[in-house]
A and B are shown apart, each in its own frame.
Chain A
Amino acid sequence: MRSVLFNHRTRFIALGLALCAQVAIAAPAARLGIEIPRLGVAEYHPPYVAAWIEGDGHRVAANLAVWYQLDHKGGEGEKWLKDLRQWWRRSGRGLEMPVDGLSGATRRPGQHTLVFSAEDNALSDLSPGDYQLVVEAAREVGGREVLRIDFQWPPQQAATLSARGERELGDITFELIP
């Protein structure tokens, strides 16, 4: 018993040290804000949304999120993933859905924030360079919209980049935390 307790304690200490180390190094992080606009339409279905990071030649450097109808009967929600046309082409069609840490249910209109800490593979695997954040939305009985934001990684200074959608997306913000 004693040794088990001891082990636990040492593990906690080790974890604490690791956290301190990361804070000290101040690895870069990012906060992605996605606004889903409230639309005055008779038949409204929350949009499918994908967010990802592209490098040179539209190579997908990281997938950040895919929101779609997860619980639809018999996996029918996946039938419409192809309507996120660019995401489907660049990444989705090669994935086995759902993907842990990526797939999520569709979200209602409003502001949604995703935080990517330094430990997230999405960011920690990014080699230094120029990238584009891409956010795509496609809505049943609605339209589709794609927004892109250029950024450099890792960020040299704190910055909040933004783009504004016109139909299926509202404000997209990408806050870079060096």
Chain B
Amino acid sequence: MTLLRNRLLLVLSLLAGFAPGLAQAHKFWLLPSSTVLSGEGDWVTVDAARSNDPFIFNHNRMGLDGLQIRAPDGRTVAPENLQEMEIRSVFDVQINQPGSWKIAVVDDGLFARYERNGESHRWRGTAAAFKSEVPADADKLRVSERISRAEVFVTSGAPSREALEPTGRGLELVPQTHFNDLYAGETARFTLLLDGKPASGVDVEIIPGGGRYRDALNSMKLRSGDKGLIEITWPRAGMYYLEASVSDQQTSSEAASQRRLTYVATLEVLPL
């Protein structure tokens, strides 16, 4: 049964594009219908997908098991109309509280590769499930910890900061310039955190959406500076994909020797 289940997981994780060791992992991203709202109780619908091209649905849905919606008062809110479809997932959120909301899909767990009876296996799951699901006597066992976050931010009325507080785990971005106060031609400042502490010297890539309609990717590459500072001057209005990733050995599970951390945010820049 365990073997079958592991095989199933292997197939599922391959399907979901989770398989490590592939030279190029697909990007994962959320795409909100709006980020700045007025009035009361308006709705936002959010797409979630994995693909090489930000905001273009051409590969696979993003699983939503790790979906976390934090309202301005800090409470967790359940999504509505959640559906994991073929090449995208989707859910709705009623923005029924003024202030800023954080919508995140968090993937926090272990990834294992091992051999047993001459066959190679891949396993993915929580640290708690690891002991019972991965045979202790497996050959060539290699375990890594993976924490990835994809986030979007929505503000109704005046921006607030409570829901944007970092969790202190993995790579995260905190605003100096509010995430819903971004305008073409202006410079935004954010702080990149690793386990809640400023992370300097981390590569960050920013890709504007709409890549299908131009020849160049127009990606902006920068590195977080002193105290984790990132400064971005937005060339034009639109949706932007921001990604940062690092690897280290600061694992929280004894079983894992390596840790891979990825942070992705989708940011909307408005015209002046």
How would residues 172 to 212 of chain B score, 1 for a CB under 8 Å from any chain A CB and 0 otherwise? 00000000010100000000000000000000000000000
Q: Are A93 and B38 in contact (CB under 8 A)?
A: yes
Q: Write the nearest CB–CB distance from A75 to chain B, whole angstroms.
A: 6
Q: Which of A52-85 contact B (CB under 8 A)?
A: 75-82, 85
Size of A's binding interface in residues, CB under 8 A:
15
Q: Write the nearest CB–CB distance from B50 to chain A, whole angstroms.
A: 30
Q: Are B36 and A78 in contact (CB under 8 A)?
A: no
Q: Are B39 and A76 in contact (CB under 8 A)?
A: yes
Q: Are B36 and A82 in contact (CB under 8 A)?
A: yes
Q: Write the nearest CB–CB distance from B183 to chain A, whole angstroms.
A: 8
Q: Please, which residues of chain A bring their CB within 8 A of the CB of B36?
A: 82, 88, 93
Q: Are A93 and B159 in contact (CB under 8 A)?
A: yes
Complex Cα distance, B181 from A144, in Å, reads 19
Q: Are A75 and B38 in contact (CB under 8 A)?
A: no
Q: Please, which residues of chain A bring their CB within 8 A of the CB of B42?
A: 79
Range of interface residues on B (Cβ < 8 Å) = 10 to 19
Complex Cα distance, B97 from A87, in Å, reads 21
Chain A, residue nearest B237 (CB): A85
Picked from A81, A85, A89, the residue with its CB within 8 Å of the CB of B39 is A81
Q: Are A79 and B39 in contact (CB under 8 A)?
A: yes
Q: Which of B32-63 contact A (CB under 8 A)?
A: 36-40, 42
Q: Please, which residues of chain B bring their CB within 8 A of the CB of A92?
A: 38
Q: Are B271 and A88 in contact (CB under 8 A)?
A: no
Complex Cα distance, B37 from A80, in Å, reads 8
How would residues 134 to 153 of chain A score, 1 for a CB under 8 Å from any chain B CB and 0 otherwise? 00000000000000000000
Q: Are A82 and B271 in contact (CB under 8 A)?
A: no
Q: Write the nearest CB–CB distance from B106 to chain A, whole angstroms.
A: 28
Complex Cα distance, B42 from A77, in Å, reads 12
Q: Please, which residues of chain A bring their CB within 8 A of the CB of B40?
A: 75, 78
Q: Are A89 and B181 in contact (CB under 8 A)?
A: yes
Residue in B37, B42, B157 whose Cβ sees the most chain A Cβ within 10 Å: B157
Q: Please, which residues of chain B bring their CB within 8 A of the CB of A80?
A: 38-39
Picked from A77, A79, A85, the residue with its CB within 8 Å of the CB of B271 is A85
Q: Which of A5-39 contact B (CB under 8 A)?
A: none
Q: Which 8 residue pairs across A and B have the least CB separation, nearest first?
A: A78-B39, A79-B39, A82-B38, A81-B38, A94-B158, A93-B158, A93-B157, A82-B36
16 residue pairs of the A-B complex, CB under 8 angstroms, read: A77-B39, A78-B38, A80-B39, A81-B38, A82-B37, A85-B270, A86-B272, A88-B36, A88-B38, A89-B181, A92-B38, A93-B36, A93-B38, A93-B155, A93-B157, A94-B157
Apart from A82-B36, A88-B36, what are 6 other A-B pairs with CB-CB below 8 Å?
A78-B40, A79-B39, A81-B38, A86-B272, A93-B157, A94-B158
